[in-house]
Amino acid sequence: MEIKLKKGLDLKIAGAVTDLTVHQADTKVFAITPDDFPGFRPKVDVKEGDAVMAGAPIMHDKNHEDVKLVSPVGGIVKAVVRGERRKVMRIEIAKDENQTFRQFDVASSLDGDGAARLLAESGLLAEMRQRPYDIVPDPAVAPRDIFVTAIDSAPLAVTPELAVAGKTKEIEAAVALLAKICRGTIYISVRPGSKIGNINGAKIVTVSGPHPAGNAGVQAANIAPVNKGEVIWTLDIVTLARIGELVLNGKRDFTTLVAVTGPEVARPSVVMTCEGASVASVLAVSPLKSSDHHVRIISGNVLTGTVTAKDSFLHFPYRQLTVIAEGDDKVEFMGWASLSPAKQSESPTFPGHFFKRPITPDARLNGGRRAMIMSGEYDRVMPMDILPEYLIKAIIGRNIDSMEKLGIYEVAPEDFGAAEYVDTSKLPLQQIVREGLDYMREALE
């Protein structure tokens, strides 16, 4: 199967990884942040000072007790960090010299229920998403189809295939496990010329086109869109390989390849560590340029990532770290009238649009927030059969009926990343979509 997408936006940003050599990080402290897992209401299962094995549960979901978040390493619980009203911000774990791995009972996962329980118990379910609502899947609901993406089309991302090279056996084992849960087809999307060959039990889809072509939800919308009442699961190929590891060895594999990218990184490179690693340990391997301005460290890519700090931790999906200038210390005189080719823009109103060299963006909004004025801007970068302006307006109006009719079940915030970048009115589209999805879920459940 082949899909060619035309709409979208490939941003060329300075600081791409050119050398794919993997460098090993020496990380001592790790942390799991429950906010990275939408829909997961954390209940802490450990206290500070507890010894945990790699794979041991540290939190479970209040709504679905089976669904766990697990410790990525063996060690001691260093801190349970809480915020306002005792909200769990993260659980930090200090790594031990000797790693002990929790052994999972794979033999019990012969049927669909058992397989779902294994995924939930091992923390792997939390690394998947379900549509509608873009949340951690409900293990009790069998998905119609499962969409696995082996593409990361986001700016500066390194192909996730790097992390699964030579893991065909694991991938096939994982597909076999998911096939017990899934009622329909398991799709694996790859770029043309991918090294992932045929996978038993899965349907390979070749996807070409600009970002967000790599988003599993965008692929689903172009293969078999989510209708009202249907549920699909989405995950990336790295998670799929981790499932395979679990099935074959009974142990969780937490290693992850982090692409350290962006204009503020001295030598962008790929760093190997484990899920939830401390940012400092990753930047120790791939340091930042020395600079006299503020920088923004983003866990993830520039369109959908989460801000983190040097003394903080990686956020899910633990695949990329992008560092850009913050820009709050810049003084720009009449920027809206500028003819400077250095101003990055997708709009031909700026000369910079016509230069195809990589841009060095900062985090400024570059304008004031306005009502939706221009039309058709989001359409150009959303390869889905959705009318994004109308959907956004329905969400802002909290009109459940309209949201449903306009296809809110098909979207996730990440699909609006490129639209949020090009928006003249500077609306926080992803936040609007997130709030809309949460509102829908609360109203309907």
Partner 1 sequence: MNFLKKYLDRVRPNFEEGGKLHAFHSVFDGFDTFLFTPSTTSGTRGAHIHDSIDSKRTMIIVVAALMPCFFFGMYNTGYQHQLALGLDKFPFWEMMLYGFLAVLPRVVVAYVVGLGIEFIVAQWRKEEIQEGFLVTGILIPMILPIETPLCMIAVATAFSVIFVKEVFGGTGYNVLNVALVTRAFLFFAYPAQMSGDKVFVATGTALGYGQPVADGFTCATPLGQIATQTSDQLTLTGIDGKVLTTWDAFVGLIPGSFGETSMICILIGAVILLLSRIADWRVMFSVFAGGLIMGWIANMCATPTYPASYLSPLDQLLYGGFAFAAVFMATDPVTAARTRTGKYIYGLLIGVIAVLIRTYNNGYPEGAMLAVLLMNCFAPLIDWCVVQANISRRMRRANLTSKNA
| Touching partner 1, residues 260-299 (CB under 8 A) | 296, 298
Judge if the upstream peptide bond of residue 57 is cis by omega within 30 degrees of 0: no
Give me the amino acid identity at 307.
Answer: V
| Closer residue to partner 1, CB minimum distance, 107 or 373 | 373
Binding partner 1 (rule: CB under 8 A), the pick from 171, 413, 415, 436 is 413
Please provide the size of the chain in residues.
445
Query: Quick one: tokens of 303?
Result: 């369109």
Q: Cα(315)–Cα(325) distance, rounded to whole angstroms? A: 20
Whether 183 and 142 have beta carbons less than 8 Å apart is answered as yes
The whole-angstrom separation of Cα 219 and Cα 212 is: 9
Q: Which of 331, 339, 356, 442 binds partner 1 (CB under 8 A)?
A: 331
223 near partner 1, rule: CB under 8 A: no
We find the least distance from the C-beta atom of residue 361 to partner 1, in angstroms, to be 4
Residue 433: how many CB atoms within 10 A of its CB?
24
Angle of the 168-181 helix axis to the 237-249 helix axis, nearest 10: 90
Residue 442: what are its φ and ψ, rounded to 5°?
-65, -40
Establish if 62 lies at the interface with partner 1 (CB under 8 A). Answer: no
Q: How far is the CB of 168 from partner 1 (least distance, A)?
A: 32
Residue of the chain from 131, 187, 420, 437 that contacts partner 1 (CB under 8 A): 420
Q: Is 127 in the site for partner 1 (CB under 8 A)?
A: no
Whether the ω angle into residue 341 lies within 30 degrees of 0, i.e. cis, is no
The one segment of 64-72, 134-142, 194-202, 399-407 that binds partner 1 by CB under 8 A: 399-407
| Residue nearer to partner 1 on the CB measure, 287 or 335 | 335
State which of residues 41, 89, 428, 441 lies at the interface with partner 1 (CB under 8 A).
428
Among 185, 366, 399, 438, binds partner 1 (CB under 8 A): 366
Query: Is position 145 an interface residue for partner 1 (rule: CB under 8 A)?
Result: no
- 50 or 389: CB nearest partner 1: 389
Based on the shown chain and the rule CB under 8 A, indicate whether residue 189 belongs to the binding site for partner 1: no
Chosen residue from 62, 87, 330, 398 binding partner 1 by CB under 8 A:
330
Spell out the residues 6+ positions from residue 196 whose beta carbon is closer than 8 angstroms to its own: 150, 161, 164, 168, 171, 188, 190, 204, 237
- Give the number of other CB atoms < 10 A from CB of residue 285: 18
If the CB atoms of residues 1 and 365 are measured against partner 1, the closer one turns out to be 365
Candidates 43-51, 133-141, 278-286, 361-369: pick the segment binding partner 1 (CB under 8 A): 361-369
Q: Of 10-39, which residues contact partner 1 (CB under 8 A)?
A: 11, 13
Number of residues in contact with partner 1 under rule CB under 8 A: 77
CA distance 140 to 282: 37
Picking from 352, 379, 412, the residue whose alpha carbon sits closest to that of residue 130 is 412
- Of 24, 108, 200, 424, the one binding partner 1 by CB under 8 A: 424
> CA-CA distance, 285 to 400, in Å (whole number)?
48
Burial of 380 (0-12, 13-18, 19+ CB in 10 A): middle
336 scored as a contact of partner 1 (CB under 8 A)? yes
Question: Which of 94, 328, 341, 397 forms a contact with partner 1 (CB under 8 A)?
Answer: 328
Residue from 370, 397, 443, 444 that binds partner 1 (CB under 8 A)? Answer: 370
